[in-house]
């Protein structure tokens, strides 16, 4: 058994001892070289200065003796140098002994603890592995912090894990005289820790899930190496002690978090990879997918979501549909007794953030676009965006004798007929209908392919001939035909509101022409959603439908104009509610609201959000209240990659609002998306815990 374990681990005790001896020899050579350099440096500095050593604590005790010997060098130097050489040998022996113990610890952890430790691991690797096992995050530079909200330890249990050095300090430092408690909106993310270059103690922002959130927030200055106070950061529940003019912070090992046991059951779906079906409409990796689906089923995930791509199914000719790959996929899902959410994806995939495959619009549509590029959205400079069709061809017969809405309806009806048995058996629980770029109900105002970068305000997309025709008609009906134009002072994709005459405070957006234009621009969006969803309701009668999703355009939300929302089609400046009209349109068709900003406000503390006057939390609650005011269900998915407990807790707090007087909650949540990273052991354990809490189950987690 021992032999097989050694082969599995890939290292033996003899290997450890050999590596240890090599390390000790290398360190001995370094000690000799450093010792010679140290003595020479002290002879040059003089007899009155004290030069601290960095090799070990024993050398601090040795420094006065060494300096005395150097200062009295008048003869017999060999005798006076004998004591330093003896001390150096004792230091080598102690180091060999320490490394021998380390080698045995590493060998034991590899064999019995299932720890993935490198061959030449040292005590830092051991401490890091144990800290990660206890639920902490250890960055490559050694910064360690609790990345997840952790509940208080039970009475009679150990409060946490400490290294030998921390135990030594705790014995020397008296108990702190007071405890400071505080809360703020959320933890700092890993990105912030990586970006931090400040020396000293770095405190994470307190968890928003601390139940004592009514306590006043307090902050503490972080002291750099030179004793200069560099920044004031909020404290989580803990204690401070002043030692040598520096503040030492005592952290609790665990923080309380909400208990979701007994709360409402919210189904959890997992979105499948974009390329799960290839361009031939075949399953790309059926065996690998089946294994992953079985793993998801083992933790009681309710189902999966999949895009049904228009560019794959109706790729070659109008009304020639190929559903073969989806038939096999749906059959696989049914055999595992999972449910399905399907997306009618009428846009291209590729070129946007997160797109890892390229799925264009149908070939025959692309051919029409080459001869008539006006069917695509167009910006002020005349640049076309072939990601989806312009909404003003919804009623124009430019697609081989059919209008755009007729094309969409024929596609949805074909799907309903092809998979009738899955609808009848309740396997397909919801149909999301794509309504724009990325499937979202918005204009393609921020195309990366045209140079847009966050936090640019984007540009209006109303310059194809069909949109201009609609604008001209609206201006004539208003009696001001000269208003049949787009704004000429709205900046470019990467402008900021104050740099433009249209979006600045008191700008043209709030003038007579501005209000006319923005009302028309947003009404085109509403009319498109209304037309397509009315046909979807007809095609999928009896099944829950929803618009694909509303994006969380949170940047410039605190600016008066809400510029980024205006260019996307949401007429939502500070003096107008732009989301109530959308919610009312969805209610008209019995559709749910799908929103992709469920965890945005976890990033509120980041500097780039503050500079962009972003308010993710405010946006979230405005949209949710608009939906709840008209009593429509809310489905959601995460906008950012999420594998940690803090992110999951933020989602849970939005999906199941605390102390809501009406007990409202989301109707479902879809995790974005299935990937090898999600299947990694630690990430999957966190996801399993998240699923249980979404289902209202009690979670017994020894790490909590």
Answer yes or no: are the C-beta atoms of 143 and 204 closer than 8 Å.
Answer: no
At residue 102, the pLDDT reads 75
Domain boundaries, the chain: 268-695
Question: In 10 A of CB 697, how many CB atoms?
Answer: 16
Q: Residue 534 CA to chain centroid, in angstroms?
A: 34
Instruction: Check if 86 is active-site.
Output: no
Coil, strand, or helix at residue 485?
Answer: coil
At residue 411, the pLDDT reads 98
How many percent of the chain have pLDDT more than 70? 67
* Pairwise CA distance, residues 431 & 409, whole Å: 13
Residue with token string 């724009």: 436
At residue 600, the pLDDT reads 53
Question: In 10 A of CB 374, how many CB atoms?
Answer: 20
Coil, strand, or helix at residue 247?
Answer: strand
CA distance to 146, 189, 634, 657, 702, per residue, from 133 (Å): 12, 20, 36, 31, 11
Answer yes or no: are the C-beta atoms of 577 and 626 closer than 8 Å.
Answer: yes
For residue 545, give the nearest of 579, 581, 582, 590 by alpha carbon: 590
* Pairwise CA distance, residues 99 & 93, whole Å: 10
Residue 516 has pLDDT above 50, yes or no: yes
Q: What is the DSSP string of 132-186?
A: HHTT-EE-TTS-EE--S--PPPPTTS------HHHHHHHHHSPPPS-EE----S-
* Pairwise CA distance, residues 626 & 580, whole Å: 5
How many percent of the chain have pLDDT more than 90? 53
At residue 251, the pLDDT reads 43
For residue 636, give the nearest of 685, 661, 599 by alpha carbon: 599
CA distance to 20, 306, 361, 448, per residue, from 597 (Å): 52, 20, 27, 20
Residue 305 has pLDDT above 60, yes or no: yes
Answer yes or no: are the C-beta atoms of 281 and 323 closer than 8 Å.
Answer: yes
Name the phi and psi angles at 98, rounded to 5.
-65, -45
At residue 117 the predicted structure's pLDDT band, cuts being 50, 70 and 90, is low
* Pairwise CA distance, residues 60 & 70, whole Å: 16
524 or 118, higher pLDDT: 524
Q: Residue 566 CA to chain centroid, in angstroms?
A: 25
Fold category of 268-695 in CATH: TIM Barrel (3.20.20)
Catalytic residue among 314, 374, 392, 440: 440
DSSP letter at 399 equals B
Give the orientation angle of helix 404-418 with respect to helix 512-539, to 10 degrees: 30
Measured over the CA atoms of residue 436, residue 438, residue 442 and residue 445, the dihedral's sign is negative
Residue 13 has pLDDT above 60, yes or no: no
* Pairwise CA distance, residues 268 & 545, whole Å: 17
Mean pLDDT of 621-648: 91
Alpha carbon distance, N-terminus to C-terminus of the chain: 34
Coil, strand, or helix at residue 311?
Answer: helix
At residue 46, the pLDDT reads 42
If you count them, how many residues does the chain have? 704
* Pairwise CA distance, residues 441 & 338, whole Å: 28
16 or 566, higher pLDDT: 566
DSSP letter at 378 equals E
Minimum mean pLDDT among 75-79, 151-155, 337-341, 471-475: which range? 151-155
At residue 659 the predicted structure's pLDDT band, cuts being 50, 70 and 90, is confident
> Which value, in Å, is the radius of gyration of the alpha carbons in the chain?
32
Answer yes or no: are the C-beta atoms of 594 and 636 closer than 8 Å.
Answer: yes
Mean pLDDT of 521-544: 96
Question: In 10 A of CB 403, how many CB atoms?
Answer: 16
Residue 703 has pLDDT above 60, yes or no: no
Highest mean pLDDT of the ranges 138-142, 195-199, 334-338: 334-338
For residue 115, give the nearest of 138, 94, 132 by alpha carbon: 132
Identify the bridge partners of residue 687 per DSSP, sorted by sequence position: none
Residue 572 has pLDDT above 70, yes or no: yes
For residue 666, give the nearest of 627, 614, 617 by alpha carbon: 627
Mean pLDDT of 437-464: 95
Residue with token string 């209006």: 460
pLDDT, averaged across the chain: 77
* Pairwise CA distance, residues 433 & 467, whole Å: 22
Beta-carbon contacts of 618 under 8 Å, excluding residues fewer than 6 positions away, are 554, 557, 558
Question: In 10 A of CB 168, how many CB atoms?
Answer: 11
604 or 117, higher pLDDT: 117
Minimum mean pLDDT among 62-76, 267-281, 639-653: which range? 62-76
Minimum mean pLDDT among 64-78, 401-415, 622-636: which range? 64-78
At residue 254, the pLDDT reads 52
Catalytic residue among 314, 565, 637, 686: 637
Residue 385 has pLDDT above 70, yes or no: yes
At residue 528, the pLDDT reads 97
Instruction: Check if 27 is active-site.
Output: no
Question: In 10 A of CB 286, how many CB atoms?
Answer: 14
Minimum mean pLDDT among 252-256, 454-458, 517-521: which range? 252-256
At residue 118, the pLDDT reads 64
Beta-carbon contacts of 541 under 8 Å, excluding residues fewer than 6 positions away, are none
Residue 223 has pLDDT above 50, yes or no: no
Q: Name the CA dihedral angle for 135, 136, 140, 143, rounded to a multiple of 10 degrees.
A: 180
* Pairwise CA distance, residues 137 & 644, whole Å: 10
Residue 201 burial by CB count (10 A; 0-12/13-18/19+): exposed, middle or buried? middle
Answer yes or no: are the C-beta atoms of 639 and 552 closer than 8 Å.
Answer: yes
Mean pLDDT of 669-695: 94
Mean pLDDT of 625-629: 93
Pairing mode, if any, of strands 268-271 and 303-309? parallel
Mean pLDDT of 19-30: 47
Mean pLDDT of 26-53: 44
């Amino acid at each position: 058994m021992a032999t097989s374990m050694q082969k599995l681990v890939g290292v033996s005790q003899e290997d450890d001892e050999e590596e240890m001896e090599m390390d000790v020899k290398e360190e001995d050579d370094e000690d000799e070289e450093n010792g010679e350099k140290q003595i020479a440096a002290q002879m040059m500095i003089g007899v009155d200065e004290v030069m601290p050593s960095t090799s070990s604590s024993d050398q601090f005790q040795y420094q006065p003796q060494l300096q005395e010997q150097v200062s009295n060098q008048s003869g017999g130097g060999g005798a006076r140098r004998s004591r330093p050489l003896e001390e150096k040998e004792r230091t080598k022996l102690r180091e060999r002994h320490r490394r021998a113990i380390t080698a045995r610890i590493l060998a034991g952890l590899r064999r019995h603890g299932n720890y993935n430790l490198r061959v030449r691991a040292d005590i830092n690797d051991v401490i890091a592995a144990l800290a990660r096992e206890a639920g902490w995050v250890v960055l490559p530079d050694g910064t360690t912090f609790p990345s997840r909200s952790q509940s208080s330890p039970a009475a009679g249990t150990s409060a946490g894990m400490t290294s030998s050095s921390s135990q030594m300090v705790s014995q020397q430092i008296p108990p702190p005289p007071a405890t400071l408690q505080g809360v703020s909106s959320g933890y700092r993310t890993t990105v912030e820790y990586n970006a931090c270059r400040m020396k000293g103690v770095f405190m994470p922002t307190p968890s928003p899930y601390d139940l004592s959130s009514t306590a006043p927030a307090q902050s503490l200055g972080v002291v750099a190496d030179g004793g200069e106070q560099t920044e004031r950061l909020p404290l989580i529940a803990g204690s401070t002690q002043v030692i040598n003019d520096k503040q030492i912070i005592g952290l609790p090992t665990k923080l309380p978090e909400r208990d979701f046991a007994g709360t409402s059951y919210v189904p959890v779906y997992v979105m499948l990879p974009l390329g799960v079906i290839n361009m031939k409409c075949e399953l790309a990796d059926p065996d690998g997918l089946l294994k992953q689906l079985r793993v998801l089923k083992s933790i009681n995930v309710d189902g999966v979501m999949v895009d049904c791509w228009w560019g794959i199914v109706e790729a070659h000719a109008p009304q020639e549909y190929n559903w073969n790959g989806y038939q096999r996929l749906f059959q696989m899902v049914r055999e595992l007794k999972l449910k399905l959410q399907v997306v009618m994806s009428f846009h291209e995939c590729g070129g946007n953030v997160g797109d890892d495959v390229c799925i264009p619009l149908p070939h025959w549509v692309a051919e029409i676009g080459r001869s008539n590029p006006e069917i695509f959205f167009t910006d002020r400079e005349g640049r076309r965006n072939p990601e989806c069709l312009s909404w003003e061809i919804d009623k124009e017969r430019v697609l081989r004798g059919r209008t755009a809405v007729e094309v969409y309806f024929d596609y949805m009806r074909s799907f309903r007929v092809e998979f009738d048995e899955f609808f009848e058996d309740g396997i397909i629980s919801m149909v999301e209908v794509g309504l724009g770029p990325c499937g979202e109900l918005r204009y393609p105002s921020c195309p990366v392919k045209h140079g847009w970068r966050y936090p640019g305000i984007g540009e209006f997309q109303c310059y194809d001939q069909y949109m201009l025709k609609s604008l001209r008609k609206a201006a004539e009906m208003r009696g001001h035909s000269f208003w049949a134009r787009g704004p000429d002072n709205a900046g470019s994709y990467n402008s900021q509101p104050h740099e433009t005459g249209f979006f600045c405070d008191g700008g043209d957006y709030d003038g007579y022409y501005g209000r006319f234009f923005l009302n028309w621009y947003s009404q085109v969006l509403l009319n498109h959603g209304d037309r397509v969803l009315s046909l979807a309701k007809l095609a999928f009668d009896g099944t829950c439908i929803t618009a694909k999703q509303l994006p969380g355009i949170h940047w410039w939300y605190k600016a008066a104009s809400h510029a980024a929302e205006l260019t996307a089609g949401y007429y939502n400046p500070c003096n107008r509610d732009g989301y109530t009209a959308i919610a009312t349109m969805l209610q008209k068709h019995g559709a749910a609201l799908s929103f992709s900003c469920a965890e945005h406000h976890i990033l509120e503390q980041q500097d780039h959000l503050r500079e962009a006057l972003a308010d993710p939390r405010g946006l979230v609650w405005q949209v949710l209240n608009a939906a709840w005011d008209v009593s429509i269900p809310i489905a959601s998915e995460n906008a950012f990659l999420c594998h940690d407990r803090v992110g999951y807790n933020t989602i849970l707090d939005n999906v199941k609002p605390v102390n809501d007087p009406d007990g409202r909650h989301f109707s479902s949540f879809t995790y974005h998306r299935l990937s090898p990273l999600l299947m990694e052991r630690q990430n999957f354990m966190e996801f399993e815990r998240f699923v249980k809490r979404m289902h209202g189950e009690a979670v017994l987690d020894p790490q909590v």
